[in-house]
Structure 1
């Protein structure tokens, strides 16, 4: 009868040592609680990299807001178009809060590009937004260009393409794969247009 308490004490000590883990052995289920995990062995929390990508995309979008493209100028002149004037007012409002450079898309004419750079500098000064001259540069924008054939397809995607009978639908009124009464699409043209996207008739 006295041997049972000793056996129980021994089993309890073994169980406690197993639960606590040993400095040079393994704990329950073969897990070494004293192991030295190298950096990167433990994965980041869920959503970590998605958030980083979203932040990077948002930052690129903010940078592109400081880019003046060719269509924001009046033909081959150094004067801003109406859209360019609205744009420069938005840039002036956020100039101090953002560290991005002001980029002018090159025209291929160095003299014209320099004249546009100075015109933009003077326009910002009129709006009480003083920018360092070296902050206004002539360079290619980082955003990828969009070709004419891609524009109608992307545009329809933004206005709800894919419906069965709407714009961009399969054989709908405003274009699609089969064409319709007022527009074309990939498969041919209706009364309003044909080919990729359907032309003006495909948009309306």
Structure 2
């Protein structure tokens, strides 16, 4: 007696348009996730990047004359840097500020005939301008709450874009954006924002 194999035929399932669109969207997301993760992994560690910036800043040899400007007010100064020691020399009246750039902190002193005196009121303006002693002390380069948020070109230089936030409420800034040269760690641009997100310095 012949045996017949009987196959149960199940009618094909039908999907509505909404289900197909959902599957397509899921597939697109699944394809994009690995690429997004790979891009994020290309960013350097923010703390290591800041350490490189501090190292670059502490290795410079500079002798130049510049100006601080606040509307019609112009304050000339002489800047002399020998490695980690930077001097800002003002006249009328005479004043010399000395910045020492360390690996873990910076220190800003006023140099007097009797010796040096540490400047503690960092949020005070320098000679009536928008520049503060905090700016001259480069304190933001030591903030621990830093992250790399992208890449950008500044004056044809390829830079990392960083966002820094102060660890305490003592700073005049709520956050700072920095652009750091990818090749040599040089600071290419800085933008300061208040706690409401308004840009107050550039």
TM-score tier, shorter chain, comes to under 0.3
Higher fraction of strand: 2
- Structure with higher Rg: it is 1
Compute the TM-score of the two structures, normalised by the length of structure 1: 0.23
More helix as a share of residues: 1
